[in-house]
Chains A and B, each alone.
Chain A
Amino acid sequence: MTKLNFEDRELVEKFLRSRDESSFRQLYRLHTPALYALALRFMSGSSADAEDVIQETWIRAAERFSGFRWESSLRTWLCGIVINCSRDLQSKLKRHEISPETITHQNFISSDLERLIHKLPAGYREVLVLHDIEGYTHQEISVHLGIQEGTSKSQLFQARKWLRERLQGENHE
């Protein structure tokens, strides 16, 4: 997840020189599909909430590009902002668990496994999504979520256990 992309760096530097719209649009189009998928996972499949998260993510990114040290990839850094924006919006909405009316992106929740992931308690879900789906290391997750690596590992263990139990339960039905 730390692969550096020179195109990203060139675009960000160009954007910072003149704050021009075209280089921003290129950055937006390169990264938004992945960020939007992540936001949908964190916002329980609600398109409206995920869009709010993406909007806030890009605002924060545009404000902080100049402080970005390129010690990770831009994508990793942006995903960190998505995580924080999602958490902020979740606490504002006080909506952590899935409910049928919040799933507006129906195609997104296409499998039983995906549906179960959205039922995971928020803390478990974040770690499982970042580690098992997005491929982050526990060290990266600890930075993004502001938790200890040990906590990340134990939450992942609990999340997998939780999922396994429910998958087995569904198979027995």
Chain B
Amino acid sequence: MNDHHSEDLTELRSLAHEIQAPAELEERVISSLKKKGLIHTPRRKTFLKGVAAIAACVILFSAGLLAGLNRSQSRNQVTLTESTFVLFLIQSPSYKEAATPELQKQRIIEYGNWARKLRTEGTPINGVKLQDQASFIGAPPQLYESYRIAGYFLIEARDFEQALAIAKTCPHARYGGEIEVRRIHKV
């Protein structure tokens, strides 16, 4: 009896299929899980300690970069050409954030030193650290909470291969962050 299908019911197995649930349901489920604390919203633990900490970080980062980058700006300034690449620094769940504000400051200096070293070696580079706060025209991208652009570097490289080789040496990759490398579109 178990597995015998009579002729008229053989159609039953063909009824097995998948159905796409409404797209809004996914957001509804995520939202209810967040409310119940079953999903953790990624937080910039160190950045969100307070406005002062954020401001300090941004100032330090900028100072670190500018100190490194502007020293020889006339020689190695990034000019927008088809040899200019953007390295988007993405913070995803795999990114290992600094455990304390002090370590965060050191990390920012480390990023600045990396840029300074590249510049000294002849690679034009500029960089920007972005603040966490964001506003959107339209709905935020679906994975916005998990994948944020934390900053970017502009570099000059002869081709993608060289741009990728440079990106791999960025401290951001060592801390588990993703780096998206894009060539600018020069009109």
Mark out the residues of chain A between 132 and 173 whose CB falls within 8 Å of any chain B CB in the assembled complex.
132-135, 138, 153, 156-157, 160, 163-164, 167-168
**Contact mask B9-21 → A, CB, 8 Å, 1/0?**
1011101111111
On whether the beta carbons of B28 and A55 are closer than 8 Å, the reply is yes
The interface residues of chain A lying within 8 Å CB-to-CB of B19 are 33, 36-37, 40, 105, 108
On whether the beta carbons of B41 and A21 are closer than 8 Å, the reply is yes
On whether the beta carbons of B38 and A59 are closer than 8 Å, the reply is yes
Contacts A19-B38, A114-B15: A55 and B6 contacting too (C-beta < 8 A)? no
Mark out the residues of chain A between 31 and 54 whose CB falls within 8 Å of any chain B CB in the assembled complex.
32-34, 36-37, 40, 47, 50-51, 54
The interface residues of chain B lying within 8 Å CB-to-CB of A9 are none
> Is the CB of A20 closer than 8 A to any CB of chain B?
yes
Q: Which residue of B lies closest to A40 (CB)?
A: B19
* Nearest Cβ on chain B to A74's Cβ, whole angstroms: 15
**Complex: A143 Cα to B40 Cα, angstroms:** 32
**Complex: A23 Cα to B29 Cα, angstroms:** 14
Mark out the residues of chain B between 1 and 44 whose CB falls within 8 Å of any chain A CB in the assembled complex.
1-2, 5-6, 8-9, 11-13, 15-22, 25-26, 28-30, 32-33, 36, 38-42
Q: Which residue of A lies closest to B20 (CB)?
A: A33
On whether the beta carbons of B40 and A19 are closer than 8 Å, the reply is yes
Contacts A22-B143, A22-B147, A160-B6: A59 and B18 contacting too (C-beta < 8 A)? no
Q: How large is the interface on B (under 10, 10 to 19, 20 to 34, 35 or more residues)?
A: 35 or more
**Complex: A55 Cα to B12 Cα, angstroms:** 27
> Is the CB of A128 closer than 8 A to any CB of chain B?
yes
Contacts A55-B29, A138-B2: A160 and B143 contacting too (C-beta < 8 A)? no
> Is the CB of A24 closer than 8 A to any CB of chain B?
yes
Q: How large is the interface on A (under 10, 10 to 19, 20 to 34, 35 or more residues)?
A: 35 or more
* Nearest Cβ on chain A to B175's Cβ, whole angstroms: 15
> Is the CB of A25 closer than 8 A to any CB of chain B?
yes
On whether the beta carbons of A18 and B93 are closer than 8 Å, the reply is yes
Contact of A164 among B9, B142, B143 (CB under 8 A): B9
Instruction: Across the A-B interface, give the 3 residue pairs with the lowest CB-CB distance, nearest first.
Output: A33-B18, A20-B93, A62-B38
Show the binding face of A for B, using Cβ within 8 Å. Answer: 18-25, 28-29, 32-34, 36-37, 40, 47, 50-51, 54-55, 58-59, 62-63, 105, 108, 111, 113-114, 117, 128, 132-135, 138, 153, 156-157, 160, 163-164, 167-168
Given A21-B146, A25-B142, A105-B19; 6 other pairs, CB 8 A cutoff: A21-B143, A33-B19, A114-B15, A135-B13, A157-B1, A164-B9
